[in-house]
Chains A and B, each alone.
Chain A
Amino acid sequence: MSGLTITEKILARAAGADVVRPGEIVMARVDLAMGNDVTAPVAIARFRELGVERVWDPSKVALVPSHFVPAKDIASARLGMTMREFAREQGIEHYFELGRGGIEHILLPEQALALPGMVIIGADSHSCTYGAVGAFSTGVGSTDLAAVLATGKIWLRVPDSVKFVYEGRPGPWVVGKDLILHVISQVGDDGCAYQAMEHTGPALRYLSMDSRFTLTNMAIEAGAKSGIIPPDEVTLAYVRSRQEATGRHLPFDVLASDPDAHYAAEHVIDVSALEPQVSLPSLPSLAQPVSTAERVRVDQVFIGSCTNAKLEDLRMAAHVLRGRRADPRVRLMVIPATQEIWLRANEEGLLQVFAEAGATVSTPTCGACLGGHMGVLGPGEVCVSTSNRNYVGRMGHPSARVYLVNPAVAAATAVLGRLAHPDELGVEPPVLEPAAVGASEGGAQGDGAGGADARTGGGGA
Chain B
Amino acid sequence: MSVLEGTAHVYGPNVDTDVIIPARYLTSTEAEELAQHCMEGIDPEFVSRVRPGDLIVAGRNFGSGSSREHAALAIKGSGVACVVAESFARIFFRNAINVGLPIVECPGVTEGAQTGDRFRVDLGAGSVENVTKGRTFRATPLPPFVQEILDAGGLMPWVARQLAREREVRVGVAPEEPAQADWRLD
Contacts and interface: CB of A to CB of B under 8 A. Distances in A.
A157 B154 contact: no
Interface string A105-130: 00000000000000000011101000
A49 interface: yes
Contacts of A125: 65-67, 91
A27 B184 contact: yes
A391 B19 contact: yes
A148 to B, nearest CB: 10
B160 interface: yes
A39 B67 contact: yes
B120 interface: no
Interface string A56-76: 000000000001100001011
Given A125-B65, A143-B155, A67 B89 contact: no
Interface of A: 15-17, 24-27, 38-39, 41-42, 45-46, 49-52, 67-68, 73, 75-76, 78-79, 123-125, 127, 139-144, 146-147, 150-151, 153, 155, 157, 189-190, 193-194, 220, 223, 225, 283, 370-372, 376, 389, 391-394, 398
Q: Which 10 A-B pairs have the closest CB atoms?
A: A27-B183, A75-B27, A141-B69, A393-B41, A141-B95, A143-B98, A190-B61, A125-B67, A370-B23, A142-B69
Contact of B87 (A45, A68, A144, A190): A190
A189 B27 CA distance: 28
B150 interface: no
A25 B148 CA distance: 13
A24 B67 contact: no
Given A73-B27, A190-B60, A372-B24, A140 B41 contact: no
Contact of B61 (A50, A52, A142, A189): A189
Nearest to A371: B23
A151 B163 contact: yes
B68 interface: yes
B26 interface: yes
Contacts of B89: 190, 193, 223
Interface string B147-172: 00000001110011011000000000
A92 B27 CA distance: 23
Interface string B101-119: 0000000000000000000
Contacts of B69: 39, 42, 141-143
Contacts of A79: 27
A365 B112 CA distance: 44
Contact of B65 (A15, A220, A225, A376): A220
18 contacts: A15-B184, A24-B186, A27-B183, A127-B67, A139-B91, A141-B69, A147-B156, A155-B145, A157-B143, A190-B60, A193-B89, A223-B89, A223-B90, A372-B23, A376-B24, A391-B16, A391-B18, A392-B41
A25 B142 CA distance: 13
B163 A389 contact: no
B147 to A, nearest CB: 12
Contact of A193 (B87, B94, B98): B87
Contacts of A194: 90
Given A79-B27, A141-B69, A153-B183, A190 B64 contact: yes
Given A125-B65, A143-B156, A194-B90, A16 B182 contact: yes
A22 to B, nearest CB: 13
A32 B44 CA distance: 39
B52 to A, nearest CB: 23
B159 A150 contact: yes
A67 B159 CA distance: 29
A141 B91 CA distance: 7
A49 B157 CA distance: 10
B123 interface: no
B185 A141 contact: no
Contact of A124 (B14, B41, B67): B67
